[in-house]
Every structure is written in structure tokens, then in C-alpha cells.
Amino acid sequence: MSSTGAPEETDTESDVEFEDVPLAAAPKSAPETDNNSTSSVHSVSFQTEPPLWVPMLSLPEQRAEPLRPGSTEETQLRGRLSTGIERINYRHMKSEMGMDGSETRASEKRFENFSQLAREVGSLVDSLWASATPSIQVEGLITLAGITEMALPTYKFDPEATLTILHKFDSIFAALCTGQHPITKEPIPGAAADHPLVTQTQKVRIRSLAETTRYKIFSCLESSGSSSFSELNENGNVVYDDEPLGADAPMQPWLMEAAKVYDQTLMLLADQGEGDDLDGGFSAD
């Protein structure tokens, strides 16, 4: 499913290498047999269901070690993050108000759809991930994830753009909590039992943000009329309608992914509300 809205000029960074990793392989079709063959082996055809849509996870390569505190590179990263967040908030505010001046530059115009906002957010997320600097990463990611969550009801629901950016947040938060790269499962730079990447306070904030976003996604689905869900239970999991969908209302290919928003993060931080430590992850003082 393609995103709506035409692409416009943005100040994103495009000089980094990305790993594009499909999370589901295409089904293999059964080999055909020759109907005119005299062999006694019967021809058997296998019908396989097409894979449900899953979001792609693209991440730039990380630095070998975190940026040195007080260095020029760290100062520049903080500046880019601050400027980027201000611009996103400004453009989103204009979207909520439905206003734009005739002389407004393309990079400062209101977002016409969620896909445009997601591209701006995703660019900053990639910069933070590539920096491998938890002292800036975690707070920056929490801020950007919060902006994304608050922006969801403003725009028409865009499954591909929405679930892709939320999957990226989920994967990175889980990686920072466990110290493992979400694709290779190798230790990420700076990850060690005696070198915390995420504080306990940050884990509680991340869990609260993940839960709020999951509820809001359900609300957006309901408003868009594209959901077959009836409600969420007390754990934030989807409860389906008892009546099956009719033949004229097939299940959307992204519906199952929508039901798994922030799954990895919530599973890791399930007990954080009670102040318990994570097992098998990297904790902080």
C-alpha cells in the first residue's frame, strides 16, 4: 500500500547506508508437472496464502563508539536534533490549524499527511541511532515517539507510514533496553552490564508511551472505519469481534501488525510499572 500525498522538499540526511530487511519472505510456489508425462506420479498443486504485510526495518550503520561528551560532533548532533524537533512541531501545529502562507518555504509548510511527518521524524531517529550515543539517543527518541503519538489523530490513518515508523521506534527501544542490535543481535556500541544505556526512569516513560500509542492506534483504526477490532483488554491487547468478516470485507493485510504496535517494548518492560528490574537486559542506576 503506498502512502498518500506527493513527496516534498525536506532537509533529511541521505548519505548513510541502510540495511533494508524484509521481515517476511515471499511464499514459494509449488513446481509444475507435465500433464503429458507417462509417469505414474500424480500432479499435486499446493496453494499457499500470501504473506500478510509487515513493516520494513531500515537502520543506518552505527558509529563504533559513542560521541565524546563536549566534542564538536556531539554539539552538532544536539543542534540538529533541537532544530529538527522545533521544525516538526511547527509544521504539525500548522497542520492542526490548517494554515500556510503563500511565501512559506517548502521545508516549513504544514504536513499534508502523516507520511510527511513520519519522514521528518524518521530522519532524526536515524541520526540518533547512527550516533550510538545513549546520552542523547534515549531522550531524543522518547521526545520523537511522543510527538508521533500525539500527531496520530490529526491525519487520515496511513497504515504503511504509521506502522513502519512505530515498528522502528519499537525495535530501537528494545535494542537499547537489551543492548542487542535489532537485526544482527550483536551487542550495540557501549552496551555492557556495567554501562547502562537506559535508566529505570526512562524505561517507565517508554512503557507509558508505548501503552498510550497502542490505545491511540486502536482509536485511529476505529475512526477510519478500517478496523475489525471490537475493543482492547486491560493489557492493551486486541479483542476481536465475535462475528467473522463478510466476503465483501476482507481483512486488511496490515491489520495484524496494527495489533502488535510496540509489542517488543511492552514485553520487555512488562513489570516496569512496579519498579522491577529487567531480566537479561542492561539496567541503569
Domain membership flag for residue 155: yes
Domain membership flag for residue 86: yes
Parent domain of 141: 53-213+264-274
Domain membership flag for residue 233: no
Domain membership flag for residue 46: no
Domain membership flag for residue 101: yes
Domain membership flag for residue 226: no
- pLDDT score, position 21: 47
**Range list of H helices, the chain:** 72-97, 114-131, 134-151, 159-178, 200-224, 255-258, 263-268
- pLDDT score, position 190: 80
CA dist 48 and 272 (Å) reads: 41
Domain membership flag for residue 12: no
226 pLDDT band (50/70/90 cuts)?
Answer: low
What pTM was estimated for this model as a whole?
0.72
Write out pLDDT tens, residues 144-170. Answer: 999 999 999 999 999 999 999 999 999
| Number of independent structural domains in the chain | 1
Domain membership flag for residue 207: yes
**C-alpha cell of 157?**
490513518
